[in-house]
Structures are given as C-alpha cells and as structure tokens.
Amino acid sequence: MSYVVSQQDLTPHATTILAVQRGNEIAVAGDGQVTVGDVVMKHRARKVRRLYHDQVVVGFAGSVADAFTLFDKFERQLDQHQGNLLRAAVELSKEWRTDRYLRHLDAMLVVAGQGQLLLLSGDGDVIEPDDGIGAIGSGGPYAHAAARALVLHTDLPAPVVARRALEIAASICIYTNDEISVETLTSGEEAPHAGG
C-alpha cells in the first residue's frame, strides 16, 4: 500500500493565533508550531510580529511564506495610510481578494493597534470581533472558547488571558504547541471589552 502526498500536504502551516482586548490592552499570542502534513517541522516559530514603529501587532495562521508576503503588503499599506489600521486593513483585503497572485495565498491575519482588533482573510473579510476576542488557525476555536471563559469569569489582564487560553488550546489541538509568544499594545483610552 502506498501513501501519496499532495503538494498541499507539503505546505508548511503555522497555527494558532489569539488576540484579546481587555481594558486598555490588546494582547496577541501565538504558538510556535509549524507543521508540514502531519510532521512537526519547527517548535519555536515567531508568528506574532510588531509593525509600523511597533504600534501595530500582527499574527498569522496558515502558510508561512504566504503570511510573510501579506506582512510586507500590510506594512506598505500602513506606511501609505500613516498607520491608520482600519484603512490599511481594508486596502490590503481589497488587494488580497482581487490580485491574481495574492488571492491564492493561504493565510489569515489578526491585526491590532489604535485600540482596534481586526481579523483579515483572502475573501475580503475585515472583521472586528464583537467580544474583543479573535482567534485564527487550527486551534482557534479552542483558544477562543478558553479566552471567552477567562474574560467572563476572571479579572486577569489581556496578556495573561491570551497566554492561558493558548495553553489550553495546546493541550487539545495537535497543531498547537505551548511555545507561546505574546505581544501587548496599550492604548491611552479605556477600550471596551467582553465580560468583566
């Protein structure tokens, strides 16, 4: 019996990303696992990065090479729109959806800055979560559920909620590990958050 590996199986994937907005903080956390097919290729990948003079945090899930292409495009949009997060996100999503090359990229982004948290996809989606919690990647639903419970039933700050929720996801999802990195943004104004 032979096993056929498709090209899609050989695409490196990196998951899980979680963003939590609470009070005047937004924390974006990512695990470190990169998986090719059913093999773990890397344990300590950095999937959360700061852009635009450290004022914006971006995390990715999906193909690593595709995500880096999107990082570059998003940073150019931030520069072009003087750091306006929503405008840069909308313009990236339009380009991502309509460009013949970009629309085949296999990744999703979480972007945070200026007290805003957005989820971006190649379908043209620019989503601001109602509950101040956004998650993408294979372990996204687990991390989102854990973060929501922690926000509703504890007073933990956003970075702690993000880390603990990702640890919970890592204990359930085989594509998520506990090599977690967290980047935090603090805004001058109190931002709305879920629960309390």
Q: Which residues are catalytic?
A: 15
Q: How far is CA 183 from CA 9, 20, 58, 174, in A?
A: 30, 11, 9, 23
Separation between Cα atoms, residue 151 and residue 159, nearest integer Å: 11
Separation between Cα atoms, residue 123 and residue 100, nearest integer Å: 13
Residue tagged 């101040």 (tokens):
132
Separation between Cα atoms, residue 38 and residue 48, nearest integer Å: 23
Beta bridge partners of residue 58, listed in sequence order: 49, 111
